[in-house]
Chains A and B, each alone.
Chain A
Amino acid sequence: KQEVTQIPAALSVPEGENLVLNCSFTDSAIYNLQWFRQDPGKGLTSLLLIQSSQREQTSGRLNASLDKSSGRSTLYIAASQPGDSATYLCAAQGATDSWGKLQFGAGTQVVVTP
């Protein structure tokens, strides 16, 4: 069974620092790896989706990398801002299931202090 882990569970950084968020998964047979943002009391918003054939994906200040062989994905947020404060979740979409079930990590709660 796919297991997805995000460490640390929480981190706090001063504004302007780069953020590095880690996601590890146990089964490399995946269709893709997705990163989501969740604000308090809100739903999940998709940030980036990296297909299994890709090494990275970029959107503005966000960059996500994928290394299937080591079972790792990293989300980089450049020049963090207080508005980046949220919980970030990763999810691996499994290729061993018949329908591409998503397995979520528990998330990393980020606080960016002014």
Chain B
Amino acid sequence: DADVTQTPRNRITKTGKRIMLECSQTKGHDRMYWYRQDPGLGLQLIYYSFDVKDINKGEISDGYSVSRQAQAKFSLSLESAIPNQTALYFCATSESSNTGELFFGEGSRLTVL
């Protein structure tokens, strides 16, 4: 089984719908991240969490919210999806260090029509 698991892997939805992407990890890491990837733009940080009670906005948090339900679980929500949120979303984890290696999930491809 993968160390970082994302569900769903693919989702097609309509404008205005609420969507939740879930991430769970078995690496025992405190730090978890949500990134968005668009073609030609690299990865952009949406939200990050250093522990269950510490959640921070990243570069592009508008239109998104997160919940850290447990050390191992970090979910990303789109309260009212819009077409320009169509992208590939990645969850990642790292140790509690500023120099730690990142471990990524397989990604969730979201299409908003």
Contacts and interface: CB of A to CB of B under 8 A. Distances in A.
Interface in A80-105: 89, 91, 93, 95, 99-102, 104-105
Nearest to B97: A100
B113 interface: no
A43 B107 contact: yes
Contacts of B102: 34, 44, 46, 91, 102
Majority SS at the chain A contact face: strand
B62 interface: no
B103 A46 contact: yes
B104 interface: yes
B45 A101 contact: yes
16 contacts: A4-B42, A9-B40, A31-B99, A36-B104, A41-B107, A42-B107, A43-B104, A43-B105, A46-B101, A46-B103, A49-B101, A93-B98, A99-B48, A99-B50, A100-B99, A106-B41
Interface residues of A, number: 26
The 5 closest A-B pairs by CB, nearest first: A100-B98, A43-B104, A104-B42, A106-B42, A104-B43
B90 interface: yes
Interface of A: 4, 9, 31-32, 34, 36, 41-46, 49, 51, 89, 91, 93, 95, 99-102, 104-107
Contacts of A43: 4, 90, 104-107
B98 A31 contact: yes
B45 A34 contact: no
Interface of B: 4, 40-45, 48, 50, 90, 92, 97-107, 109
A59 B10 CA distance: 33
Contacts of B40: 9, 106
Given A95-B98, A100-B99, A104-B42, 11 more contacts: A32-B99, A43-B90, A43-B106, A44-B92, A44-B102, A45-B104, A46-B101, A46-B102, A99-B50, A101-B45, A107-B42
A102 B41 CA distance: 14
A1 to B, nearest CB: 10
A88 to B, nearest CB: 12
